[in-house]
Chains A and B, each alone.
Chain A
Amino acid sequence: MHIVDRRLNPSSKSLENRQRFLRRAKALVQGAVKKSAQDRDIKDVLEGGEVSIPLDGMNEPRFRREGGTRDMVLPGNKKFVEGDILPRSGEGSGKASEPGEGDGEDAFRFVLSRNEFVDLFLDDLELPDLAKRKLAEAESEGLHRAGYATSGSPANISVTRTVRLALARRVALRRPRPETIAQLEAEIANCDEPRCSELLVEIDALKAKARRIPFIDPIDIRYRRFETVPKPVAQAVMFCLMDVSGSMSEHMKDLAKRFYMLLYVFLTRRYRHVEIVFIRHTDRAEEVDEDTFFHGPASGGTLVSSALATMHDIVRSRFRPADWNIYAAQASDGDNSYADGDVAGRLLIEKILPVTQFFAYLEVGEAGGHPGFELSGSSLWTLYQRLQAEGAPLSMRKVSDRSEIFPVFHDLFKRRRHQERAAS
């Protein structure tokens, strides 16, 4: 007998089969993912987890029999005697499943990894009109130094490296140094006969050796090596604006936070070259890091324009619209001080919208609120609606319940097939 240690073998033998299965069940799984995503916390969504899909279409049919008269032998008789009649629905009714009758379940449950889950979830979402600007060369090639090579163009010879190698070789092969030869020649000048001829022989030998071992040999030569790396230019920056003022209830903040979390996952997954800037505002706006944005406490009044102004400053200082596709998504309860409406509107129209590809506004309401919570819209809603009517590229949605986040998210970022997307 012998023992084989298989633990070092590649262990995910089933991976390919699993991928085949997921590919085949894609439509089903995607539906299940969307559905389960609606029924749970976003935080769990990010975890991946269990989904169940209808067996239909995924099942492997076999000839199975059912019905007819059945005979069963069961263990554990407690009180029955021959001739008893048991009511069908009661205890001891045909609970026993026949051998060979496999899964009588109508749903197939299995666990998706986080990546698989989010992948499927985001599969049909895409930021709109990305890379409108520099789409001509979606990826330009940049050169990066990448070590040394033994061949190359003369222009790229790396002298230092070549000389260093030559020196090492000369030392290793004991090439006589010119100083040694010079010293011996100086000795010849003042020495007597036998020694003199000895020296001459020695010098000849050294010189011959020096000729045999070149100062720089072709094998020492090194060239600087370059690699081309794709340099993405379709870079985007996403501004997340959120109202964290006193008028925002915990529930609303929660909604907004969920929206952004999802947004964040989506962006970080889909685009590797997306920068995200978080701006939260009360009556003052500040740029914060992600953690503070979602979890940091803050309260105060409401000045939407402060956030827009901050965003504008950041754009000016860090994201030149020539190089960046700029996106913004704002979440708010719609409250804004009256005086601020015009300022905000002007900022939007004159400064923000011209440089952004897309501006989404998500209005969050109290739980149980009707999707169109107020007959007359909130001050921001009215403002934005007016701007939209004038043709500003705004998307707006109202959300009052957690389960609505996902459809809205879909709406906001659905692939717009009807729009020309030069990037593909």
Chain B
Amino acid sequence: MTANSAERLYEGADWDFATLQRIHDACEKIAKSELGLDVYPNQIEVITAEQMLDAYSSVGMPLYYKHWSFGKHFAHQEAFYRKGLMGLAYEIVINSSPCISYLMEENTATMQTLVIAHAAFGHNHFFKNNYLFKQWTDADGILDYLDFAKGYVAQCEERHGRLAVEQTLDAAHALMSHGVDRYPGKKKLDLRAEEKRAGQRRSHEESAFNDLWRTVPTGPLKSASTLSDERRRTLLGLPQENLLYFLEKSAPRLQSWQRELLRIVRHIAQYFYPQGQVKVMNEGTATYVHYRIMMRLHEQGLISDGNFLEFLQSHTNVVFQPDFDDPRFSGFNPYALGFAMMQDIERIVVNPEDEDREWFPDIAGTGDAMAVLRDVWANYRDESFINQFLSPRLMRKMRMFHLHDDPAETAGIRVDAIHDARGYRRVRRELARQYDVGFIDANIEVVDVDLAGDRRLMLRHTVVKGAQLNEADAKRVLQHLADLWSYDVSLAEVDATGTLLKEHVSSPRGIPAAA
């Protein structure tokens, strides 16, 4: 390095707030002028390791309502952390405006630089520009909404007792994975207005309450059977895959505060929903951005060779992908896969080979890697991203192969495709399918309610590739569902041909079971 150390952002490992400011400004310059990123304003929060653990256990959110399950996660994480099995991930970043990134005070200046580059610019840009987040989440309102939720839950506990609230939340949490709208079409959530409406609903109920209405004699009820099946389902909005939404709107015996709790859990689930669909891209983007920024800082002489080596070491750890037969293997590391793909795209754009021209005619050799990447980051999610951009070269490099495990095949597991000319497309399609939302969660819908009879709620699980629900867990979840619905619930598992494979039935527990 020819640069003299006076221009360095920092020396050694120590940092203070002025250092952080300098680091941020240097990163910002590179991110905006060289990479052309577009980010939310940043808010950087310095926290202790214990606070980091706290943040972990409440899904990285700075505030959350109180619930035992977060305590359980905390205890679990802490045990791992103490045993040294798990270093704390060095970054938690929140999809909000301003975008909040946490820095741990124990980290060296180099690590802080890395986190700022990674979270405050990489993730931040992705949150702001990716279409899924734009479509589904309301970055401006989330923190206020969580604050409202926290207060509301605490208020409910005071009014209705902790146990009752806990049970409702337990049930809602069990259904959380099926409490989201998977397909856009509805309006994007406006959480601020949501919070206001919740307040208005409550005050209206309070002001319009008149006990006399109870005593008004009602005429004979319209017999439900006169409604045609079709009409009834339409009225109830069936089939409905968002179970929490359905219960909130139609469960006959829920209190209004319980409906509000379901609503809160549903909104939070919806907020987190996109994050599950872009794990690879999100981490890949952030890792790629931090790598580029750190490289530039080093080139400009803003960080010393020693510090740069320190960065490389942790970077290498992050993007390490163990092989399938390595005891450390637990699926694809999203950081590794994402980063490798981003670098691969850069290579294809800047320096393609014949194979790349053949596979990626649209982008090969166009020269402006950042423009292509920014477009990719904005318009894809994991599944489509892998399906389009996983190159043969990368498949060879990571030596990917596809296994097909059919229980009917007694001989064993078949290797269906490997990284060769015949297998590229199949391997790529299969890997993309692993990230397909349709495959990640079981496809379960409410299909009907027996209004004429015993009010039984009927659900259907459409079985894909013969994977049925885990019996014990399904039983528990259905129990929660029945408690909320307060009549019997049945879940039929049906395969593609419409054959009934299995039926689970659950009845509500009349009395709240004490935990």
Contacts and interface: CB of A to CB of B under 8 A. Distances in A.
Are these two chains actual partners, yes or no?
Answer: yes
Interface of A: 1-7, 9, 11-14, 16-25, 50, 58-78, 80-88, 90-100, 108-111
A83 B476 CA distance: 41
A206 B39 CA distance: 77
Given A20-B67, A65-B470, A93-B413, A80 B418 contact: yes
Contacts of B50: 11-12
A7 B105 CA distance: 8
B405 interface: yes
Contact of B469 (A5, A64, A108): A64
A21 B71 contact: yes
Residue among B67, B321, B419, B473 facing the most chain A CB atoms (10 A cut-off): B473
Interface stretch (B129-137, B220-228, B252-260, B459-467): B459-467
B480 interface: yes
Contacts of B388: none
A20 B68 contact: yes
Contacts of A98: 331
Contacts of B174: 60-62
B143 to A, nearest CB: 13
Given A14-B70, A71-B433, A96-B329, A61 B473 contact: yes
A10 to B, nearest CB: 9
B441 A100 contact: yes
A14 B53 contact: yes
Given A76-B325, A110-B76, 17 more contacts: A3-B45, A3-B46, A4-B44, A6-B47, A7-B46, A11-B50, A17-B67, A67-B468, A68-B467, A69-B465, A72-B434, A73-B403, A76-B398, A86-B415, A90-B412, A97-B331, A108-B72
B67 A96 contact: no
The interface residues of chain B, by DSSP majority, are classed as mixed
Contacts of B69: 17, 21, 60
A20 B50 CA distance: 19
B44 A3 contact: yes
A111 B20 contact: no
B292 to A, nearest CB: 19
A2 to B, nearest CB: 6
Interface string B92-112: 000000100000010000000
A72 B329 CA distance: 13
B463 A85 contact: no
B178 interface: yes
A111 B81 CA distance: 10
Q: How large is the interface on B (under 10, 10 to 19, 20 to 34, 35 or more residues)?
A: 35 or more
A13 to B, nearest CB: 4
Contact of B407 (A18, A61, A67, A76): A67
Contact of B467 (A14, A20, A62, A65): A65
Interface in B455-512: 461, 463-470, 472-474, 476-477, 480
Residue among A13, A87, A91, A93 facing the most chain B CB atoms (10 A cut-off): A13
A60 to B, nearest CB: 6
Residue among A7, A88, A110 facing the most chain B CB atoms (10 A cut-off): A110
Contact of A109 (B57, B79, B463): B79
Given A1-B43, A21-B72, A110-B75, A66 B467 contact: yes
A83 B321 CA distance: 25
A88 B401 CA distance: 17
21 contacts: A4-B46, A6-B47, A9-B51, A17-B66, A20-B71, A24-B68, A61-B472, A61-B477, A63-B441, A63-B461, A66-B467, A68-B407, A69-B465, A73-B401, A75-B398, A77-B419, A81-B415, A86-B403, A86-B414, A91-B325, A100-B441
B88 to A, nearest CB: 14
Contact of A65 (B21, B75, B468): B468
A76 B406 CA distance: 22
Interface string B395-426: 00011111111111001111111111011000
Contact of A60 (B105, B173, B325): B173
A75 B412 contact: no
B415 A24 contact: no
A70 B68 contact: no
Given A17-B74, A86-B413, A77 B418 contact: yes
B82 to A, nearest CB: 6
A175 B427 CA distance: 100
Nearest to A110: B75
Contact of B321 (A18, A65, A75): A75
Interface string B50-65: 1101100110000000
A7 B51 contact: yes
B430 A71 contact: yes
A82 B412 contact: no
B468 A66 contact: yes
Given A1-B24, A68-B467, A77 B401 contact: yes
A82 to B, nearest CB: 6
Contacts of A68: 407, 463-468
Contacts of B331: 96-99
B51 A74 contact: no
B406 A69 contact: yes
Residue among B413, B442, B473 facing the most chain A CB atoms (10 A cut-off): B413
A63 B74 contact: no
B322 interface: yes
B42 interface: yes
A12 B469 CA distance: 38
Nearest to A26: B515
A9 B55 CA distance: 13
B401 A63 contact: no
B226 to A, nearest CB: 35
A76 B442 CA distance: 29
Contacts of A23: 68
B420 to A, nearest CB: 7
B426 to A, nearest CB: 9
B374 to A, nearest CB: 21
B442 A63 contact: yes
B326 interface: yes
Contacts of A61: 174, 472-474, 476-477, 480
B462 to A, nearest CB: 11
A73 B400 contact: yes
B147 interface: no
Contacts of A80: 401, 415, 418
Nearest to B47: A6
Given A4-B44, A110-B78, A73 B415 contact: no
A71 B332 contact: no
B54 A74 contact: no
Contacts of A93: 412-413
